[in-house]
Chains A and B, each alone.
Chain A
């Protein structure tokens, strides 16, 4: 009896230490390896031939245009998404209407559905042989699928929840008294929104927008279906990298990967910095 008791006390005093260090090191090593490997591999491979060969491969017309298309489609999506996402979050928080719960759940659909399936759905809705796609082409002479509008549309689908889910909680926690005070003092609802609500939700809008931008920049599954992969016209950077890997042109794949990854990393760090600044001020 006496002996077992001393044994257990010994055990409880030593195992926590071991568990503590075991947990810490397994978590940190696992995380470092997983995060660092891609960064190291792409940096080394991208700069393997020296800075000039890196420069040459990213300034080749097809590569340059792919990076450019990725950036402008993602940026356009981000702007639309920040407006429509904020509006959606506003409507969801402020108003009661039939179907509100449905809308609120539907918004997460892009998180749940495989992006490749999104691409398939979009070509079936807007493809040149479909009623809607054909009509738009006849009326406006504009192709949606196999062209850049299709890319923007796929990215809008993908990015829709980001701004909403960032803005929604902030809107819900806003002090209603401030808005009421503004009304009482004779401010119009637009003025109230601009001067009271907007400044409060702007950081969340930017965070959500930046996250959707970073996510959109690397998007592959939906775009490879929707864009038709026409070099210089509808080929994004991720699709370009895929093509170069498939054809064994690894130097070109690595260089464009390095550019894409650098932008993604900078965006993540910026989001983190903004979040930190916000909590520091609050």
Chain B
């Protein structure tokens, strides 16, 4: 009896909290009819916004994957003064408000900013938006890779060295295959966070239509302009991408689980 009450309670809570809002969005959008929706998606501004979102997300994934593995490596394998402190603050980008992140970029690189003489224009530009996107999604790969890296015992690597393998070969053939699932999972999380970034990108880029407008900023502006179809259709596209990401996450996670059992 208790079992069914608890399951019912949890299912209805999750349904009301997570599913009902999604349904509301889809139903509201479909009322416009497919032709109107298609027209709203294929306006040049909407397509440009989607394109910018994808480009920023892909670049952010590439940078954060390389640097994330590197940082995880140093935080796990190297011994140095202040390691504990670094370990604690890695999560900071995760909790600092995105608005503050964007604001910091403007303070640094804006017209009267601290570093206004910087050769690359970062304030109100896509380069600056990339920088803040990289910042807000920094911890994901690091946090996924670190525990797996820490759990690797040295035998395999030592065996490889003894047999004459170089450092790069050992990394590629021994470590990378072990780390790969966690890197991939981190990549998916980074992708989701980068695609969905709004506050930091809006402040850092200034939201100039067609230039520094990402998909999320487009949805926000469309709502302000009472262009409801535009807002809802791009929101649904972002939602569909999220569902795709969710499926990927789900597909990647069991492998991790299996490894823990072994």
Nearest CB of A to B223, in Å: 7
**A122 at interface (Cβ–Cβ under 8 A)?**
yes
Contact with A along B88-127 (1 / 0, CB 8 A): 1111111111111111101110000010000000000000
Name which of B7, B19, B101, B193 has the most chain A CB atoms within 10 A of its CB.
Answer: B7
Q: Which residue of A lies closest to B247 (CB)?
A: A105
Contact check: which of B10, B95, B100, B242 meets A241 at CB < 8 Å?
A: B100
Asked if B216 and A245 make an inter-chain contact with CB atoms under 8 angstroms apart, the answer reads: no
**A52 at interface (Cβ–Cβ under 8 A)?**
no
Task: Answer whether A24 and B78 are a contact pair too, CB < 8 Å, given A109-B242, A125-B21, A268-B89.
Answer: yes
| A267 / chain B contacts, CB cutoff of 8 Å | 95
| A254 / chain B contacts, CB cutoff of 8 Å | 103, 107
**B62 at interface (Cβ–Cβ under 8 A)?**
no
Stretch at the interface among B34-42, B43-51, B173-181, B232-240: B232-240
Asked if A157 and B135 make an inter-chain contact with CB atoms under 8 angstroms apart, the answer reads: no
Contact check: which of A19, A115, A122, A238 meets B21 at CB < 8 Å?
A: A122
Asked if A264 and B96 make an inter-chain contact with CB atoms under 8 angstroms apart, the answer reads: yes
| A242 / chain B contacts, CB cutoff of 8 Å | 99, 199, 202-203
| B246 / chain A contacts, CB cutoff of 8 Å | 105-106, 108-109, 112
Q: How large is the interface on B (under 10, 10 to 19, 20 to 34, 35 or more residues)?
A: 35 or more
Asked if B93 and A105 make an inter-chain contact with CB atoms under 8 angstroms apart, the answer reads: no
Contact check: which of A90, A91, A160, A271 meets B17 at CB < 8 Å?
A: A160
Provide the bound-state CA to CA distance between A38 and B204, in Å.
13
Stretch at the interface among A53-61, A174-182, A196-204, A213-221: A213-221
Q: Which residues A73-91 have CB closer than 8 A to chain B?
A: 84, 87-88, 90-91
**B32 at interface (Cβ–Cβ under 8 A)?**
no
**B22 at interface (Cβ–Cβ under 8 A)?**
yes
Nearest CB of B to A223, in Å: 10
Asked if B242 and A117 make an inter-chain contact with CB atoms under 8 angstroms apart, the answer reads: yes
Number of A-B contacts (CB under 8 A): 236
Asked if B71 and A121 make an inter-chain contact with CB atoms under 8 angstroms apart, the answer reads: no
| B249 / chain A contacts, CB cutoff of 8 Å | 105, 108, 111-112
Contact with A along B62-93 (1 / 0, CB 8 A): 00000100110111001010000011111111
| B163 / chain A contacts, CB cutoff of 8 Å | none
| B102 / chain A contacts, CB cutoff of 8 Å | 245
Q: Which residues A100-156 have CB closer than 8 A to chain B?
A: 103, 105-118, 120-122, 124-125, 130, 156
Provide the bound-state CA to CA distance between A130 and B31, in Å.
14
Task: Answer whether A261 and B100 are a contact pair too, CB < 8 Å, given A31-B90, A105-B250.
Answer: yes
**B189 at interface (Cβ–Cβ under 8 A)?**
yes
Contact with A along B121-152 (1 / 0, CB 8 A): 00000000000000100100000000000000
Apart from the given pairs A120-B219, A220-B198, 15 other A-B contacts in the complex at a CB distance below 8 Å = A41-B104, A91-B6, A91-B7, A95-B3, A105-B247, A106-B18, A113-B196, A114-B196, A116-B235, A124-B21, A160-B14, A218-B96, A220-B199, A238-B99, A253-B103
28 residue pairs from A and B, CB less than 8 Å apart: A12-B166, A24-B74, A30-B67, A31-B71, A34-B138, A38-B96, A41-B104, A41-B114, A95-B6, A99-B11, A105-B246, A111-B193, A112-B245, A116-B220, A117-B216, A121-B21, A121-B24, A160-B14, A238-B98, A239-B99, A242-B199, A250-B107, A254-B103, A257-B97, A264-B92, A265-B95, A269-B88, A272-B88
